[in-house]
């Protein structure tokens, strides 16, 4: 930790800061510049809020120099994490595509979806059985019946199942049916849920919150890793900005940023990232070109009649065309699809 004192800070102010650092078990190194005195501290930085020092008298600013996340840091595993689920590897040379409808609506719909996405080259089917909806008057999902349909549709087509868990109480049920448990953007900082997911032995797909920094995403991953579950993959799905022509602004640069700071696989969800079908395809291409380890794409056999998020779901033939384009792009980053 580094504390920079104000120009003209008094000796008494400097000493008060040093005393406070020592009390918190930092060892302190003082360096007196021509204008600013700087105090370097080695100690329990992870638990400290730098603002606590910034409001002390005579302090100009305070910087933490150790990352607040340890296990999610690239230094912890410089070669990168590869998560194996069945015979699929996430974070390896192949860019993995997970696709399917926003919600499981009925047996017919999910079975058709699974067949269509498998044929185009997806490795997993995604679909929600429990739906977080901004309005209490919107469709809320089929629950366990939906999970069963999803599992059957996946098995019939050799696919993995990815589905969202909304509450710790749903975990035992989810474990019976799904291969990857997804944590949605709204729950990225639902710490009770993260702590429970740390205890399971199935991979977790953690989505970035719409106002979360990359550092906060990595800190949320740290909750799962530090509890003993090392199979965490991350996902960019759009952040909130002033721009209104798309639902969110998909932060493609978060992909190379996460790859640099962390060893965890990084996926992208261009469907939620844009909210509009006509933007999904260009943004899916962009994500792979920027180095994403995989994609989550919403595909629906009849998007105009979807019970949720139809506007951002691709038609099956659009998805197949996208897969063709990705097969051209992936070699530019040394990957396959």
**Closer residue to a second copy (CB): 111 or 198:** 198
Chosen residue from 123, 252, 296, 299 binding a second copy by CB under 8 A:
252
Dihedral sign, Cα of residue 297, residue 300, residue 304, residue 305: negative
239 binds a second copy (CB under 8 A): yes
Q: Rounded distance, CA 258 to CA 290, Å? A: 11
336 binds a second copy (CB under 8 A): no
Q: Which stretch binds a second copy (CB under 8 A): 83-91, 111-119, 148-156, 211-219?
A: 211-219
Residue list 156-175, contact with a second copy (CB under 8 A): 166-169
Q: Rounded distance, CA 181 to CA 41, Å? A: 40
User: Rounded to the nearest whole angstrom, what is the least distance from the CB of residue 123 to a second copy in the complex?
Assistant: 21
**Closer residue to a second copy (CB): 89 or 302:** 302
Three-class DSSP category at 86: coil
7 binds a second copy (CB under 8 A): yes
- Inter-residue contact 47 to 219 (CB < 8 Å): no
Give the distance between the most distant pair of CA atoms in the chain. 76
Q: Which stretch binds a second copy (CB under 8 A): 59-67, 106-114, 115-123, 294-302?
A: 59-67
Written as six digits, the tokens of 142 are 């089929």
Residue list 77-106, contact with a second copy (CB under 8 A): none
Chosen residue from 11, 12, 51, 87 binding a second copy by CB under 8 A:
51
Q: Rounded distance, CA 220 to CA 166, Å? A: 15
Q: What angle do CA 32, 36, 37 make, to 5 degrees?
A: 40
Taking alpha carbons only, the member of 327, 296, 36, 111 closest to residue 2 is 36
Chosen residue from 261, 267, 296, 297 binding a second copy by CB under 8 A:
261
Q: Rounded distance, CA 217 to CA 195, Å? A: 15
**Closer residue to a second copy (CB): 69 or 319:** 69
Taking alpha carbons only, the member of 283, 197, 277, 281 closest to residue 237 is 283
273 binds a second copy (CB under 8 A): yes
User: Rounded to the nearest whole angstrom, what is the least distance from the CB of residue 99 to a second copy in the complex?
Assistant: 18
- Residues binding a second copy: number (CB under 8 A): 112
Chosen residue from 10, 119, 176, 213 binding a second copy by CB under 8 A:
213
274 binds a second copy (CB under 8 A): yes
Q: Which stretch binds a second copy (CB under 8 A): 93-101, 154-162, 175-183, 206-214?
A: 206-214
Residue list 112-141, contact with a second copy (CB under 8 A): 132-139
- Inter-residue contact 134 to 94 (CB < 8 Å): no
257 binds a second copy (CB under 8 A): yes
User: Rounded to the nearest whole angstrom, what is the least distance from the CB of residue 162 to a second copy in the complex?
Assistant: 20
Distance between start and end Cα atoms, the chain: 43
Dihedral sign, Cα of residue 209, residue 214, residue 216, residue 221: positive
- Inter-residue contact 249 to 211 (CB < 8 Å): no
């Amino acid at each position: 930790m580094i504390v920079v004192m104000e120009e003209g800070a008094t000796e008494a102010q400097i000493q008060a800061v040093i005393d406070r650092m020592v009390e918190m078990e930092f060892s302190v190194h003082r360096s007196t510049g021509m204008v600013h005195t700087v105090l370097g501290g080695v100690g329990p930085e992870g638990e400290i809020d730098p603002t606590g020092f910034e409001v002390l008298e005579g302090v100009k600013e305070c910087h933490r120099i150790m990352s607040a996340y340890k296990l999610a840091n690239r230094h912890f595993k410089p070669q990168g994490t590869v998560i194996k689920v069945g015979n699929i590897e996430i974070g390896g040379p192949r860019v993995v595509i997970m696709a399917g409808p926003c919600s499981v609506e009925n047996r017919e719909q999910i079975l058709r979806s699974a067949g269509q996405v498998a044929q185009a080259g997806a490795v997993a089917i995604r679909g929600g059985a429990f739906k977080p909806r901004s309005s209490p008057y919107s469709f809320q999902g089929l629950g366990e019946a939906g999970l069963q349909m999803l599992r059957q549709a996946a098995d019939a087509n050799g696919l993995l199942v990815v589905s969202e868990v909304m509450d710790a109480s749903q975990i035992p049920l989810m474990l019976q049916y799904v291969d990857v448990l997804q944590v949605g953007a709204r729950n990225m900082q639902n710490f009770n849920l993260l702590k429970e997911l740390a205890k399971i032995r199935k991979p977790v797909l953690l989505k970035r919150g719409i106002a979360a920094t990359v550092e906060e995403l990595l800190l949320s991953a740290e909750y799962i890793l530090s509890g003993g579950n090392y199979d965490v993959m991350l996902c960019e799905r759009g952040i909130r900005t002033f721009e209104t022509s798309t639902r969110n602004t998909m932060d493609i640069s978060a992909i190379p940023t996460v790859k640099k700071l962390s060893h965890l696989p990084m996926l992208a969800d261009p469907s939620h990232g844009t909210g509009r079908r006509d933007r999904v395809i260009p943004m899916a291409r962009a994500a792979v070109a920027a180095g994403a380890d995989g994609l989550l794409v919403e595909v629906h056999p009849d998007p105009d009649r979807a019970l949720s998020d139809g506007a951002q779901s691709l038609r099956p033939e659009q998805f197949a065309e996208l897969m063709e384009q990705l097969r051209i792009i992936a070699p530019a980053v040394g990957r396959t699809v």
